[in-house]
Structure 1
């Protein structure tokens, strides 16, 4: 006879589903059946389940695999419909049970006729290590709920302050609860909270075993509740607003105070999540802009380098201009000197030309004088010849010849 039916919904938890399965088979309560439903996982969860089934052929194991994902509520409801046990328990594929959990709850339910029982929760990380120190805000919130549960002795007030059951893995209830309430609502994030509200509103006998941490609740980045925090908060708010008319008959000041605290928490969470979302978007935008900023800084550095090179070239150009201007001044001085020399040369040339003109005049005069002299000489020669040829010259020569000889003789006698 099946005492407890365990429904284990699985979706993309290949890393942890083996531990969940082992924790069920490790239960000291042996009168159970295990219904495992893989909700079309994309990882190797189904292979892990199949390997587990082959390794435990005698285990009361029923495995189902969906062709398409249907969501957690539908998967759990399918498992509840297949269940044969007097008691129904749910274990999510990323959580684990203490080996004593089911026997403890079955014994308590049988002896006290409780309809719905939950326990305290040990917080685990992805490596199955205690995570309380890493989640101080979550722990503070949960401890406040537990303190409220103990101090008020009114589970309704505590439930309206927050879902102290934490997860469907903490649900252990008699079949009559399921027979009266049916399955879970099609809510992605708060189907467990909605079901708990129905259990409490129906007046079933409930108890939470605080101080007995018989459930290991794994808190990790891929928890459904953490995939879209704002959507989860909105779904929680809608649930509470829709439930307000139904809660009218059970609300008193203390329970209203619990509801008010939860609404304030949800408001604070909304603000924090919005700020976180804005921060993440700013960080994402920053990550987009950082390469652009780096490129811009690179361009600015290149521009500054180019400007520096241009300034250096401009300085060199200015130096060259100064040198050029110096050369131009020197050239202009040389040109002025050259022009002065040219003027002097032109003056010398003019003087030379004047002198040449005078010289040519002198030469012309000289040539004229020479011509006149030559004419005179010819005339004189002709006259001389004429004289020589004249009778008077010959007579004179004849007369003078004895005198010349006497003069020569006398000159010789004088010298002797």
Structure 2
């Protein structure tokens, strides 16, 4: 077995089958395939298992982490498990051309090359060419390749930028791993740091210009795009730490390459910072625009309400004018009513005076009636007394005797009177 292919996987269910198929499709078949799923949270492991079961003749090592350990630790685990004379890495979102391993193994053995990388074809998430979209990335990569063509000094080009692009472009002999060791625990530039160690160790390296045997997928979830400023900071810190170690290999051309990279990193930092500021402003705008829209809507509603209120105010003023007119008429009516009331009150006063006079007359009449009734009562009593006295007198013996004595006299008087008349 010549080659150990290490394929780290993390949340790449969409692409891991393409990566595995590109390995299985290699014209060079003397390889083992070490697949390590670094605790993916999507269906990556199910895809891996399905491909393994569909290809039982392939020499597989499939490992699944219970917790995520990160790319360097996963790669180092794969390197420890590897048994081949050559070690190759393919990330689960990238693909190889079918003749890659055959070309690299043949070249490495024929010319005793320790480390080989190739040109890269840029792909999007749907495995379509992305050079037309990622113009800045392509311009940067083309500048590195042109730099290499100018002087054929891979050290100078490597110090200008990581032209290897990705660990998927790493193909190296076991003796490199034996001497250089494992990947450093770096989040973003562990591949670049490993390449610097390989170059510093003096291994024979080769970059196959124009042979695009690797399909590098550039998408929004690439680790390098996770936090661009953090990646740039890690890269700059790596170069600063490495400066003392680079002293013995630096010449004017290589120092110039390092200067260009540092200037690029400075520019990228500024651009990323401005991008972040822009994104924050855009995000702020996205927060503010709905508020502005709401405000404008509220203003429109307010203006409509104000318009309604103004219309109501006009109507209210008209109503007030009408009311004032009505109040004037009412006040005139009240004045007329008050005059009538005054007249009525005078009439009532006169009436009350008449009533009072009538009441006095009634009272006087009642008093007179009472007095009359008292007088009548006294008269009746007197009459009764007189009548009683008359009866008593008539019934008295003296009266009867007097009457009897007077009777002849009356008759004589009547005779005399009557006679004279005759």
TM-score over 0.5 (shorter chain): yes
Quote the offset at 1:323 in angstroms. 2.2
Which residue number corresponds to residue 31 of structure 1?
Answer: 30
Which residue number corresponds to residue 61 of structure 1?
Answer: 60
Which residue number corresponds to residue 219 of structure 1?
Answer: 218
Range 300-309 or range 154-163, more displaced: 300-309
For the residues of structure 1 that align with 2:308 and 2:268, how far apart are their CA atoms? 57
> Do structure 1's residue 82 and structure 2's residue 81 form an aligned pair?
yes
Which residue number corresponds to residue 208 of structure 2?
Answer: 209
Q: Secondary structure of the equivalent of 1:134?
A: coil
For the residues of structure 2 that align with 1:283 and 1:133, how far apart are their CA atoms? 26
Quote the offset at 1:197 in angstroms. 0.5
Quote the offset at 1:183 in angstroms. 0.8
Q: Write the deviation string for residues 71-120 of structure 1: whole angstroms up to 9, x where unpaired.
A: 01110111111111111100000000011111111111111111110000
Q: Write the deviation string for residues 34-54 of structure 1: whole angstroms up to 9, x where unpaired.
A: 111111100111111111111
Q: Secondary structure of the equivalent of 1:217?
A: strand
For the residues of structure 1 that align with 2:334 and 2:65, how far apart are their CA atoms? 105
For the residues of structure 2 that align with 1:335 and 1:179, how far apart are their CA atoms? 119
For the residues of structure 1 that align with 2:16 and 2:60, how far apart are their CA atoms? 14
Which residue number corresponds to residue 115 of structure 1?
Answer: 114
What does 1:379-394 correspond to in 2, within 5 Å?
none
Which residue number corresponds to residue 151 of structure 1?
Answer: 150
RMSD (Å) for aligned C-alpha atoms: 2.2
Q: Secondary structure of the equivalent of 1:133?
A: coil
Which residue number corresponds to residue 191 of structure 2?
Answer: 192
Which residue number corresponds to residue 292 of structure 1?
Answer: 291
Q: Write the deviation string for residues 345-402 of structure 1: whole angstroms up to 9, x where unpaired.
A: 99xx9xxxxxxxxxxxxxxxxxxxxxxxxxxxxxxxxxxxxxxxxxxxxxxxxxxxxx
Q: Secondary structure of the equivalent of 2:132?
A: helix
Which residue number corresponds to residue 271 of structure 2?
Answer: 272
Quote the offset at 1:330 in angstroms. 4.8
Normalised by the length of structure 1, the TM-score is 0.79
> Do structure 1's residue 171 and structure 2's residue 170 form an aligned pair?
yes
Quote the offset at 1:329 in angstroms. 4.5
Quote the offset at 1:267 in angstroms. 1.1
Q: Write the deviation string for residues 314-364 of structure 1: whole angstroms up to 9, x where unpaired.
A: 111111222233334455666788899999x99xx9xxxxxxxxxxxxxxx
> Do structure 1's residue 313 and structure 2's residue 312 form an aligned pair?
yes
Which residue number corresponds to residue 160 of structure 1?
Answer: 159
Quote the offset at 1:149 in angstroms. 0.6
Q: Write the deviation string for residues 274-298 of structure 1: whole angstroms up to 9, x where unpaired.
A: 1111222222222222333233233
For the residues of structure 2 that align with 1:337 and 1:16, how far apart are their CA atoms? 102
Q: How many residues align?
A: 348
Gaps of 5+ in 2: 348-422
Distance change in 2, residues 1:81/1:342 (3 Å):
closer
> Do structure 1's residue 325 and structure 2's residue 319 form an aligned pair?
no
> Do structure 1's residue 229 and structure 2's residue 233 form an aligned pair?
no
> Do structure 1's residue 263 and structure 2's residue 245 form an aligned pair?
no
Quote the offset at 1:299 in angstroms. 2.5
Which residue number corresponds to residue 103 of structure 1?
Answer: 102
Gaps of 5+ in 1: 350-416
Q: Secondary structure of the equivalent of 1:207?
A: strand
Q: Secondary structure of the equivalent of 2:102?
A: helix
Which residue number corresponds to residue 3 of structure 2?
Answer: 4
Q: Secondary structure of the equivalent of 1:46?
A: helix
Runs of 4+ in 1 over 6 A off after TM superposition: 333-343
Q: Secondary structure of the equivalent of 2:243?
A: helix
Range 10-19 or range 249-258, more displaced: 249-258
Which residue number corresponds to residue 246 of structure 2?
Answer: 247
For the residues of structure 2 that align with 1:50 and 1:342, how far apart are their CA atoms? 111
